[in-house]
Structure 1
Amino acid sequence: MPLPSAPHLLSPALPDELTDRHTPTERDTDARSAGRRRARNLTLPLVLTGSLAASMQVALPAAAHSPASSPKPRSSVPAPTPPKAAPAPLAVQAAPAQYTVESGDTISGIASKFGLATASVLALNGLGWSSMIFPGQVLLLTGATASPDAAPSTPAPPVQAASTYTVVSGDTVSGIASAHGVSVAAVFAANGLSSASIIYPGQNIAIPAAGAPQAAPAPAPAPPAAPPVQAPQTPQSITPMSSEMRANAAVIVSTARSLGVGDYGIVIALAAAAQESSLRNVQYGDRDSLGLFQQRPSMGWGTPEQVLDPVRATKAFFGGASNPNRGLTTGLLDVPGWQSMSVTVAAQAVQKSAYPDAYAKWEASARSWLAELG
């Protein structure tokens, strides 16, 4: 029985080169195709790796050492700010003997300009903290105490202080000295004060120890050599009148003439009004003081409306038979012997000011104003 024909089962395995039925040209083509497939298989992982590196911002080995790709170091500490230069100190001018007030001036500004204490300038000129100054007014500066911020020209001798006392409203140097059993002169010496100095609430006063050096008492003032009705013997500057001052001075002069008051009485009234209000009918002042003469309604000088009436205020200042406050206030004509008193003493007898010597500096101006107004 013949065997079936199965050559593929019976044929022995032959080498590839013997079984390869492709021609040489076909084999070359297959080899090139296989090489391209291998290249594609190698390229794909590199492309994917580059994409992942770009999305994750990771440098590839080739770019890791590139200076352009190296991140710049960051500092969390801010750069220090250079310190600002300290402002240059204001120059302090040497204080002249007198100063003429200019528009916009204040007592504190004038004192600071010349290195003086405001309280000393006020005291030297007989002014209070509520007093007004006006352009053309002449202020005295010689003798004012230097400000604590100004360098002293000569060191003061040390004074042994046992304690300090804080000033309260209503205090006086003499009262403080008496309460602590020391002399007024010793308190003056321990604090660099004088009889013209002003103390104010909140100020600390050094109380000297027993046996501390004391200032020599001031000599008693000599009596005036000439009658007060004469012009002052020492030269004084003349303050020019503004239009407001002139109008109020004219009211004082005409009212005085209607009452029969002579020139000397008018000079006293003009000096008093100049010191109290700068010849202005002001609607404010110390406590409830108002008007030309800073009269106080609470002390019987009239209602606020009456005190602000220049004619009535002038009549109240002169008093006498025409005193609108008869029995309540004392006017110049009610003061015995006022004609022989100095301007400042006569004015003080009516005004009873805390600065009794402040009116004298206005005498020369008051005489000049009266001569000008007639």
Structure 2
Amino acid sequence: MPGGLAAQTVSTVAAPAVYTVEPGDTVSSIAQRFGISTASVLALNGLSWKSTIFPGQVLVLTTAPVKTTGTPAPTTSGGRYSIVKGDTLSAIAARFGVSTQSILDANGLTWTSIVYPGQTIVIPGRVPAAVPPPAPVVGLAADAPLDPPASTTPIAGAAAAEASAPPSVAATVATMAIAERPVLPVEPRRSAPAPSAPSGGSGARPPSGGTITPLTAEMREHATTIIQVGRQLGVPEYGIVIALATAMQESSLRNLSWGDRDSVGLFQQRPSSGWGTAADLQVPSHAARLFYEGRTGYTRGLLDIPGWQNMTLTRAAQAVQISAYPDYYAKWEASAWAWYFELT
């Protein structure tokens, strides 16, 4: 009609009970595709607006039971299910056609509880379909577009800049305004074995719950270096865990050649604050040693902090790092303990 606005019809299809995330998906785009609200998808999967989704991850989209064909795979005796690598509670719930909350209630779990391969959980009266577990691929935040990763290195936004990037890229990032620099990846959702409590001060106890971030090859290499240096110096395991959590918060366990102002390396140590030269701070073993011992006459290391063994992880890390965000280290404590026990 002349002068009128053409009506635009948004095509949607009926939402399946579960959906496997594909490269390029975001929570909001998935919700729009199936004509449901983003908030409902987040709620059904126990996600927040800042949560991470991964290619291959299975999301629950409705509370309807999952339709299966053929002979379903039986549970173990007594209606139990043994968790395998790649499982999530929401995906298990979808396979059995029950709600995630009912599984949590039946097993005395909460949304922050840790589950791990080999653990047996009670399924409230259902039998799962034979669905292979999703492949663990690291992605981005819920509403950041996902591109197929070229390697196992975490993606840090659409303009990701890796420590291994050509010097020209690192130089470009270093000249950018802080607010415009690429952000580091947010915490992926992954479960892993809960470590046993070690001996030590009142602060040296693994948390009873929390999600665990999986280690990529690059992260594993740097975590191993931090552990080895700590052991060479005789640092107690709690001190090594503090170092792992600190490096994860500061650099996502990547040896960055850029950062806030002149910060570089695993621990984002600043030459202008007396930590040393930028080149030295990008040697992972040297950066780890500085975190533990400090630089005499210039900076304090963890072992220089009186009573650090009895401090909370975030307080001990902050005493060394003097960060603008002193409470952010705590969210990596569960992961740091898991990494320590995995690599030792």
Give the alignment's TM-score, normalised by structure 1. 0.45
Higher Cα Rg: structure 1 or 2? Answer: 1
- Which has more helix, going by share of residues? 1
Give the alignment's TM-score, normalised by structure 2. 0.49
- Larger RCO, structures 1/2 (Cα 8 Å, 6+ apart): 2
